[in-house]
DNA sequence: GAATTAATCAACCGTACGGTTAATAAACTA
DNA sequence: TAGTTTATTAACCGTACGGTTGATTAATTC
């Protein structure tokens, strides 16, 4: 029997240091706990789908990573696609909430924009690490089974950014800019940076030590983007 | 161009869920033409891999799109992966050449940077439409079979951008900026924009007509990025 | 504590995939 | 023209995939 020693009743969630390749991240307790099963599958799915995409992730790998029988994917989520949908919602909903909350901020527009960038960065680097990769993956895969579900989130986030930008223009702090293109460039840069973090780490790791550059931290990049956007959008005194 | 479609050996309908119209992009000449076969496969692969990724593209779909027998993928390229590698090289090599040529430009740094953005945009929108999606896809898929082959291209492009940026700082036109982060934000925004173009088109197409916004053109976005970067990097707001 | 429901498991199933093969026709050579 | 090489084809093969099933065990109900 494969039943192993009881380790913990609650998902540890504490990642080991560095990148351990095939870590079986959850050993499930002897006693049943369907909520923990669902949670383990959601967690494993967020990691694997973000890393390898929907097609590139097998149900066997999913189940193994979650420490759970493969059939439970169908049992709890109705199949691989159902799990993917659930993960998408669980990943994007918190982001949307935090972003939309910025709509009502009393801060001046440039500060609100900085705040938006900080929220994106904090979400991507600490709260929902899978979020940028999943966003990018969905958006470059037309015919993905879940793009339509993504739309409301995207619309809400875009709406918030547009709101901030238009306020800034109205208040004379931002030059006349196209809100959609500004939104796309800002979110695109952020999503690209965080989604490609692992690949960049791999690339520098495979370089001769002489050429190595230490990769920029999430916080540093957030600050970079804050400066770039506020300066790039700022209304300058002498211009039409 | 659109010559005869030889006997449809495949079932006429049912190309898959939500698949776009499968246009047979290559006529089949009665006489043999191995060079054209290779070219058709490269072309079909560039489209399909960019759209659905490596895993998401089957050899059957590849061959059907190219109007070619499936076994010819192995015959000419040694397999699906060999075809993918060839496409990657054929896609990135022209980009690198055009970018690296900018290294020696006599223009002042801000102009050179504008030129870089224009080159990226022109490549993505006209010359190699598959390029941004393939770049993004490779970078968010660690363990992709071809990341290592991508490295030299990335290094050369980054080197060029860094060269331009450092020159701009030296000449007092750019403020002190981190070249790597600047490069990542610029290329990230551009790649994201062009790679997600189809998805954005789909999203607005599925919206109620009242809310529809016409999507930004490639040229408009290039100009947006040129302004955003030059203003955002400028030492003093005032020059371009 | 018996009966019922919910959760989990190992084994199995049909299919689609990437790749191979043996045959064959076209192109080339001499 | 005969012989050889190159390009192409349909059919086939082993495998890995996602999903299902029937049994089994833990939890819940009464």
All CATH 1.10.10.60 domain ranges of chain A, comma separated, are 34-82
Residues A82-88, mean pLDDT to the nearest whole number: 96
Say how many C-beta atoms besides its own lie within 10 A of residue A191's C-beta: 25
More confident residue, B156 or B24: B156
Residues A91-98, mean pLDDT to the nearest whole number: 95
Rounded to whole angstroms, the distance from the CA of residue A14 to the C1' of nucleotide C28 is 67
Rounded to whole angstroms, the distance from the CA of residue B61 to the C1' of nucleotide C28 is 32
User: pLDDT at position A51, please?
Assistant: 92
Write the pLDDT tens digit of every residue in A195-208. 999 999 988 888 88
* CATH class of the A34-82 domain in this structure: mainly alpha
> Is the CB of B208 inside 8 Å of chain A's CB atoms?
no
Which residues of A spanning 11-50 put their CB closer than 7 angstroms to strand D?
31-32
Q: Find the range with the poorest average confidence among B30-44, B101-115, B187-201.
A: B30-44
User: pLDDT at position B11, please?
Assistant: 35
Write the pLDDT tens digit of every residue in A104-140. 999 999 999 999 999 999 999 999 999 999 999 999 9
Domain B84-233 has CATH 1.10.357.10: yes
Of A51, A143, A224, the CB nearest to B19: A143
All CATH 1.10.357.10 domain ranges of chain B, comma separated, are 84-233
User: pLDDT at position B207, please?
Assistant: 82
Residues B95-104, mean pLDDT to the nearest whole number: 95
Question: Residues near B40 by Cβ (< 8 Å), separated by ≥ 6?
Answer: B25, B26, B66, B67, B68
All CATH 1.10.357.10 domain ranges of chain A, comma separated, are 86-233
Q: Find the range with the poorest average confidence among A28-42, B1-15, B41-55, B221-235.
A: B1-15
For the domain with range B34-78, which CATH number is right: 3.30.1330.60, 3.50.50.60, 3.40.190.10, 1.10.10.60?
Answer: 1.10.10.60
Q: Do B216 and A181 touch (CB under 8 A)?
A: yes
User: pLDDT at position A169, please?
Assistant: 96
Which residues of A spanning 75-104 put their CB closer than 7 angstroms to strand C?
75-76
* Gap between the Cα atoms of A203 and B234, Å rounded: 30
Say how many C-beta atoms besides its own lie within 10 A of residue A26's C-beta: 22
Average pLDDT, chain B: 86
With 70 as the cut, is the pLDDT of residue A3 above it?
Answer: no
Structure tokens at B25: 């992009």
What superfamily does domain A86-233 belong to in CATH?
A: Tetracycline Repressor, domain 2 (1.10.357.10)
Band (pLDDT 50/70/90 cuts) for residue B146 is confident
Q: Find the range with the poorest average confidence among A28-42, A92-106, B193-207.
A: A28-42
Radius of gyration for chain A, computed over Cα atoms and rounded to the nearest angstrom:
21
Write the pLDDT tens digit of every residue in A157-207. 999 999 999 999 999 999 999 999 999 999 999 999 999 999 999 888 888
Write the pLDDT tens digit of every residue in A19-55. 333 444 555 556 788 899 999 999 999 999 999 999 9
With 70 as the cut, is the pLDDT of residue B66 above it?
Answer: yes
Residue among A210, A211, A222, A98 nearest A160 (CA): A98
- Taking each helix axis from N to C end, the angle separating B34-52 and B59-66, rounded to the nearest 10 degrees, works out to 130
Are the C-beta atoms of residues B40 and B68 closer than 8 Å to each other? Answer: yes
Q: Which nucleotides of C are covered by protein (CB under 7 A)?
A: 6-11, 16-22, 26-27
β-strand partners of A66:
none
User: pLDDT at position A96, please?
Assistant: 96
With 50 as the cut, is the pLDDT of residue B9 above it?
Answer: no
User: Which runs of consecutive H residues, i.e. helices, occur in chain B?
Assistant: 34-52, 59-66, 71-77, 80-100, 109-122, 131-139, 147-170, 179-195, 197-205, 218-233
Contacts made by residues B15-19, CB under 8 angstroms, sequence distance 24+: B17/A143, B17/A145, B18/A143, B19/A143
């Amino acid at each position: 029997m494969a039943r192993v020693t009881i380790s913990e009743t609650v998902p540890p969630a504490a990642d080991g240091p560095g990148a351990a390749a095939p870590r079986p991240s959850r050993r499930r307790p002897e006693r049943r706990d369907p909520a923990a099963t669902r949670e383990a599958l959601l967690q494993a799915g967020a990691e694997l789908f973000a890393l390898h995409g929907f097609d590139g992730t097998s149900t066997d790998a999913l189940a193994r990573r979650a420490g759970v029988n493969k059939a439970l994917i169908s049992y709890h989520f109705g199949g691989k696609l159902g799990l993917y949908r659930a993960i998408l919602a669980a990943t994007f909903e918190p982001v949307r909430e935090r972003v939309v909350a910025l709509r009502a901020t009393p801060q001046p527009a440039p500060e609100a924009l900085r705040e938006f960038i900080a929220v994106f960065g904090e979400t991507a680097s600490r709260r929902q690490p899978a979020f940028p990769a999943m966003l990018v993956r969905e958006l470059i895969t037309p015919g993905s089974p879940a793009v339509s579900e993504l739309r409301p989130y995207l619309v809400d986030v875009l709406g918030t950014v547009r709101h901030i930008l238009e306020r800034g223009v109205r208040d004379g702090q931002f030059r006349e800019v196209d809100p959609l293109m500004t939104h796309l460039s800002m979110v695109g840069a952020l999503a690209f940076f965080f989604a490609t973090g692992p690949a960049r780490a791999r690339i520098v790791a495979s370089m001769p030590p002489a050429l190595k550059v230490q990769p920029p931290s999430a916080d540093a990049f957030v600050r970079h983007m804050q400066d770039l956007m506020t300066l790039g959008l700022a209304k300058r005194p002498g211009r039409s």
